[in-house]
Amino acid sequence: MLSVEKLNKIYHSGGLLRRGQANHAVKDVSFHIAEGETVAIVGESGSGKSSVARLVMRLLPANSGQIHWRDQEVSQLSEHHLRPLRSHIQMVFQDPFASLNPRMRIWQSVGEGLRVHRPELSRTQRRDEVAEILALCGMDAAILDRYPHQFSGGQRQRIGIARALIVRPKVLVLDEPVSALDVSVQAQILNLLQRLQSEFNLSYLFISHDLSVVRHVADRVLVMFNGNVVEQGSVEGVFSDPKDAYTQKLLAARPVAHPSERR
């Protein structure tokens, strides 16, 4: 579904004067995600996980490496040629509302992708599609004409997921999708993601710093440190028998589930 090979990203700070430092944020990262599979990337901020997400989405140009969306190599495609393919892979952010226009009604924001990818639809058809997707995400049609403010964190994330799903992608890249939510709302959103995955056989690239969440949702996990993937494998394997020293440290730093486990 999605595969990347030897992806590299180097950021240059300090502008044109070449005095700034080069930051090798993503180093030779390779992985693939099969249909219906969830692959998680864990690591601290600055480890490169969000850069990987943005590279994969082609929101950021890579310095080298290959990116396959389904069967197509897209790392060098121009935006013009990329556009029709963008419906295959969509992104969900930590706070989707940061990217919503506050003056657009919910149905217009959620339906935006349809204007690009299914221009043949009439306004009414678009609105109906949005209502259908919102219902799938557990939101009532009554919100269609409301504006982005005045939604709770959980509702915002449902709307963000609906907005990504509207073009019927096969892959969702989720960057910290539940990090800003209460544990009760987090549970609702994780359940929703699981239901949508089995219903549409979606593939997820799930970026999170929360190891408990990752263990719950992912099939496989990549551990990133300083731009490198230091370990990857099945979730059970990595969690029960971490090989890399950094992974071991990360797992040891997990919060305890019960006061009796205090160290």
Min CB(32)–another protein separation in Å:
21
Residue bearing tokens 């197509």: 72
212 binds another protein (CB under 8 A): yes
Contact status: 199 vs another protein (CB under 8 A): no
> What are the respective helix, strand and coil percentages of the chain, to the nearest 5?
40, 25, 35
Q: Which of 141, 147, 187, 233 binds another protein (CB under 8 A)?
A: 187
Task: By CB under 8 A, tell whether 152 contacts another protein.
Answer: yes
Q: In a 10 Å sphere around its CB, with 0-12 CB exposed, 13-18 middle and 19+ buried, how is residue 4 labelled?
A: buried
Q: The dihedral of CA 55, 103, 138, 176: what is its sign? A: positive
SS3 139: coil
Of 45 and 124, CB closest to another protein = 45
- Of the candidates 172, 180, 245, the one whose C-alpha atom is nearest the C-alpha of residue 209 is 180
Q: Does 80 bind another protein (CB under 8 A)?
A: no
Exposure of 152 in the CB half-sphere (CA atoms within 13 A): 9
* Interface mask toward another protein for 17-56; x: CB under 8 A: ---------------------------xx-----------
Instruction: Give the closest residue to 115 by CA, choosing from 100, 129, 105.
Output: 129
**Among the residue ranges 18-26, 64-72, 110-118, 190-198, the one whose residues contact another protein (CB under 8 A):** 190-198
**Piece in contact with another protein (CB under 8 A), picked from 60-68, 139-147, 152-160, 165-173:** 152-160
117 touching another protein, by CB under 8 A: no
Q: Residues 40, 222: contact at Cβ < 8 Å?
A: yes
Q: Residue 42 or residue 167: which is nearer to another protein going by CB? A: 42
Should residue 101 be labelled a site residue for another protein when binding is judged by CB under 8 A?
A: no
Residue 144 to residue 56: CA distance in whole angstroms? 31
What length does the chain have? 263
Taking CB under 8 A as the binding criterion, the range among 15-23, 68-76, 119-127, 150-158 that sits at the site for another protein is 150-158
Give the contact letters, 231-260, x = binds to another protein (CB under 8 A), - = no. Answer: ----x--------------x--xxxxxxxx
Q: Counting contacts by CB under 8 A, is residue 146 touching another protein? A: no
What letter does residue 255 receive in the DSSP assignment? Answer: P
Q: What is the largest CA-CA distance in the chain?
A: 61
Strand arrangement, sheet containing 220-225 = 89-92, 171-175, 203-207, 38-42, 220-225, 228-234
Nearer to another protein, 79 or 140 (CB): 140
Q: What minimum distance in Å lies between the beta carbon of 190 and another protein?
A: 6
Residues in touch with another protein (CB under 8 A)? 44-45, 152-154, 182-188, 190-191, 194-195, 209-213, 215-217, 235, 250, 253-262
